[in-house]
Structure 1
């Protein structure tokens, strides 16, 4: 089966474009708002009850029944397939609340991978096992699993949510370096009318939509325990489990990682849906930043910072007018993103003819231009980063050669 494009793994719109479905949503809208307000009030009480009750089977059963009131319905095929001796459970990632839902079936602990430890992270079900680097996290998780009294670890090797309908993100190998045996679990989430999660949405918005819709059904299926072979690396073991989960869910295992998803969100935010975009076309046209009053020290500092960034881009791309660089930097705020936009032709401009003869000798200028007409970046973030670094290296070498020639002519 062919590997899909990374955009196909995610949903960009919360609503379905089908007219009949939209009509049903509009009819349901007033009932959904009332249900949302009621469930927010009930959800606070459920959280207090869950925090007060001691950890155990009784607490999980009570909270699971109360979650039905919130519209969260949980189903598993056969509880006896869950191996209680296996200390590491891995699953695909579909929603921001997968760990909370699976925690209602069996006692699990999910490590915090990003963000500082806080009361909010604890309330969402995360614990801090050391996230400074992956080596520290693996060592802490191994020590945690070595104690029989501790619950099992619930890990999501994709490290990012997908739509759960097309493919799986690449599994991180660190999750398979903790224990020799892991138990995979498949997770499917279904919801009427609206999508379960949207590309770039936060957990808070997804929680409100969970309260808004009539119900969200989670289906869990436990797969047999997989054990790592002696001559098998962690990466090979992770790929094997990814293929097993993909086969069980009828999804395509892809080479895209969570970093590729973050890059996709950033690219869409800066290129397809800029923050200043409006409903009218003229509102989407970038404008040159206006002059800042001298009496505003903060604004002047921001203008100076923008100018410094523009000069850095100008050093790499001396043939690009400074005004064009400043316009794109005002939107992206990132030197690397602006350089990428200029190199890939996303920003249209006319070269500064007055500055072009001073960029470099003819041979170096031809080499630089040859590097700029490369087709596109690769399909992965590492390939795109390598291509960008190669182009930047060519242009920097040309600038250095021109500087050396200029110094030589001045000394002579």
Structure 2
């Protein structure tokens, strides 16, 4: 069965059903967060004071892993002939795990402080003017994640093609993350590709440990493949290593999906309320009811506003099927006033007309209520 959009992202932060374990760990998590925040300040000062050298960068990377509770396991080895590594997208700290163990740099458009980006092994894509940079510097490989955004790991999104004209040999990398209590990434309606997910990063501080597993797969050569074919070969290799499905969704579709579902749910709720008002006030047009509900957000207030004449509208013409006369039929127990259809000139007449309309609406609503519930009431 193919995965749907809502199955590819985590909407809830917490995972599992053992609430007792979470509550027992909560005090320890708060203490651990405070200690890691202090360590983050040390990391920030060190990144400013220490020179930008290879040994220093490795030290800062280690401190960053301690700060965020990141433990990395590597399976396989990096191919020294490959300057480009292609991986799936799992969390905002994938770049840190890869930089710490594989010595890579990652391209991002995130708006983050320079010291923070350098510590996580992030470079701005605008810094690389020429694509030949990747092939000219094989000692510093580049990690690319063409999915464009994080998923929960149940499927692999379509890769964008922009990364694959870079070089003719790439190495796929399959990334998985395990942690207790919480999910590593949670999708929010306002997620943007150029904004760093700070909230996800803060949960790394609270979690006891996040275990990253990086599986370096055999390198793939382009041969005579086009960009699209080569991208699919790399994607298939990563999916096989992760044992997940290939999907035809892009990150833009996944990112837009929750917003569309929330909008549809809100519209459905609005129409449910509007139908409830329509049952009470059948002569009021549905579009006027919806418009008023958008302002009041209350069924009772909306009904009151229409009954008291605070909202103007043009009554709908209701088709009434008159029953055939019968001698055995009981006389009506309630009478509905009939509007005159003319606009009174004086204020006194207009007030009387309003009272008639109000009485008509109440009588119609009462009639429908009695008929709907099968009540026997003598009027």
Normalised to the residue count of structure 1, the TM-score between the two structures is 0.60
Q: How far apart are residue 150 of structure 1 and its match?
A: 6.8
Which of the numbers 170, 174, 177 marks the counterpart of 1:182? 170
Match of 2:69 in 1: 71
Q: How does 1:124-163 map to 2 (within 5 A)?
A: 125-130=121-126, 140-148=129-137, 151-163=140-152
1:8 matched to 2:7: yes
Match of 1:97 in 2: 93
Aligned partners of 1:159 and 1:258 also within 8 Å: yes
1:254 matched to 2:247: yes
Secondary structure in 2 aligned to 1:105? Answer: helix
Secondary structure in 2 aligned to 1:45? Answer: helix
Which of the numbers 232, 240, 264 marks the counterpart of 1:239? 232
Q: How does 1:371-382 map to 2 (within 5 A)?
A: none
Q: How far apart in 1 are the matches of 2:187 and 2:68?
A: 24
Q: How far apart are residue 69 of structure 1 and its match?
A: 5.5
Match of 1:310 in 2: none
Higher relative contact order (CA 8 A, sep 6+): 2
1:228 matched to 2:217: no
Secondary structure in 1 aligned to 2:71? Answer: strand
Q: How far apart in 2 are the matches of 1:326 and 1:236?
A: 54
Higher helix share: 1
Select the structure of larger CA radius of gyration. Answer: 2
Check 1:5–1:120 CA distance in 2 against 1; reply closer, same or farther (3 A cut).
farther
Check 1:61–1:325 CA distance in 2 against 1; reply closer, same or farther (3 A cut).
same
Match of 2:211 in 1: 217
Aligned partners of 1:16 and 1:22 also within 8 Å: no
Check 1:130–1:320 CA distance in 2 against 1; reply closer, same or farther (3 A cut).
farther
Secondary structure in 1 aligned to 2:176? Answer: strand
Q: How far apart are residue 43 of structure 1 and its match?
A: 1.6
Q: How far apart in 1 are the matches of 2:295 and 2:78?
A: 53
Check 1:242–1:322 CA distance in 2 against 1; reply closer, same or farther (3 A cut).
farther
Match of 1:56 in 2: 54
Normalised to the residue count of structure 2, the TM-score between the two structures is 0.64
Q: How far apart in 1 are the matches of 2:44 and 2:98?
A: 16
Check 1:196–1:321 CA distance in 2 against 1; reply closer, same or farther (3 A cut).
same
Which of the numbers 12, 19, 24 marks the counterpart of 1:22? 19
Check 1:71–1:224 CA distance in 2 against 1; reply closer, same or farther (3 A cut).
same
Q: Which moved more, 1:117-126 or 1:190-199?
A: 117-126
Q: How far apart in 1 are the matches of 2:260 and 2:131?
A: 37
Match of 1:406 in 2: none
Q: How far apart are residue 184 of structure 1 and its match?
A: 0.6
Check 1:179–1:330 CA distance in 2 against 1; reply closer, same or farther (3 A cut).
farther
Q: How far apart are residue 141 of structure 1 and its match?
A: 5.0
Q: How far apart in 1 are the matches of 2:116 and 2:155?
A: 28
Aligned partners of 2:152 and 2:185 also within 8 Å: yes
Check 1:322–1:263 CA distance in 2 against 1; reply closer, same or farther (3 A cut).
farther
1:88 matched to 2:54: no
Aligned partners of 2:47 and 2:115 also within 8 Å: no
Q: How far apart are residue 251 of structure 1 and its match?
A: 0.8
Kindly provide the CA deviation profile for residues 363-396 of structure 1, in whole angstroms up to 9, marking residues without a partner as x.
xxxxxxxxxxxxxxxxxxxxxxxxxxxxxxxxxx
Aligned partners of 1:74 and 1:217 also within 8 Å: yes
Where in structure 1 are there 5+ consecutive unaligned residues? Answer: 132-136, 275-280, 287-318, 332-351, 355-412
Q: How far apart are residue 224 of structure 1 and its match?
A: 0.8
Secondary structure in 2 aligned to 1:29? Answer: helix
